[in-house]
């Protein structure tokens, strides 16, 4: 499987590390959360089928983090962008 790093181009999956869901929004005031709310933020995640926005790191290359839109069923990657870019391709 090849992943396109926005800076280095196409590279082997072995060079990358999955870093998590790119759609999770950190609480603006984490200290105001109850233990249960904090647990939900840290541990409860959706498990979507189909297209999903993810964070990856080019660990054995430029070491930069970027966003990727990947189909979690077929593993097809429709787009990759720097962290401040918006993703295109696939369906949400």
pLDDT, tens digit, for every residue of 7-24? 999 999 999 999 999 999
| Cα separations in angstroms, 4 against 1, 33, 54, 73 | 10, 38, 13, 19
Residue 17 lies in a domain: yes
Q: What is the mean pLDDT of the chain?
A: 93
Domain with 6, as residue range(s), is 2-21+48-82
Compute the CA torsion angle 12, 65, 78, 20 (nearest 10 deg).
100
pLDDT (average), residues 72-86: 94
pLDDT, tens digit, for every residue of 29-51? 999 999 999 999 999 988 889 99
CATH number at residue 69: 3.30.2270.10
**Residue 75: both structure tokens together:** 């593993």
Tell me the pTM: 0.84
Residue 34 lies in a domain: no
Q: What is the pLDDT of residue 74?
A: 96
């Amino acid at each position: 499987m090849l992943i396109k790093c926005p800076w280095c181009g196409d590279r082997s999956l072995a060079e990358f590390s999955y870093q998590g869901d790119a759609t999770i929004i950190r609480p603006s005031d984490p200290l105001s959360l109850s233990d249960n709310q904090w647990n939900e933020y840290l541990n409860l995640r959706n498990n979507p089928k189909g297209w999903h926005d993810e964070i990856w790191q080019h660990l054995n290359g430029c070491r930069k983090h970027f966003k990727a839109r990947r189909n979690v069923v077929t593993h097809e990657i429709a787009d990759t962008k720097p962290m401040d870019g918006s993703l295109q391709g696939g369906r949400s």
